[in-house]
Amino acid sequence: MYVLNFWHTVPDYTEWKKVFDSDPLGREASGVRRHTLTRPVDDEHTVIGALAFDSLGEAEAFAIRLREVWEGLGSGLVADAGSRISEVLEEKVFDRETERKAA
């Protein structure tokens, strides 16, 4: 699994989220398996996202298209944009009930 991590500054998260939800790049059709959006607790203007893909090629192709949006139509919605692709080497989900019983 490959993850396209992205980050940028937005003047208004609510307006940015409307555009994100409209899905102008067709995430699912482009191979995105899931996404996560986060932001620092002390900075409501920074958005950090992670888009998961099955293949490196899909992640690379989407990264190019995302940069084009940032530089074009999205330039009024985002600033200080960046991205990086990482490979998932391991992922583990812990069962919180098991953890509580062990403690």
Distances (CA, A) of 50 to 17, 56, 98, 102: 15, 14, 28, 32
Could you give the CA distance from residue 23 to residue 36 in angstroms, rounded to a whole number?
A: 14
Whole-structure pTM value: 0.85
Interacting residues of 25 by C-beta distance below 8 A, sequence separation 6+: 62, 65, 66, 69
Report whether pLDDT(84) > 80: yes
What domains are there in the chain, each with its CATH number?
A: 2-90 (3.30.70.100)
Please give the pLDDT value at position 46. Answer: 96
For the CA atoms of the chain, what is the radius of gyration? 16
Given CA atoms 74, 77, 82, 88 in this order, what sign does their dihedral have? Answer: negative
Q: What is the pLDDT of residues 40-75, one digit of tens each?
A: 999 999 999 999 999 999 999 999 999 998 888 777
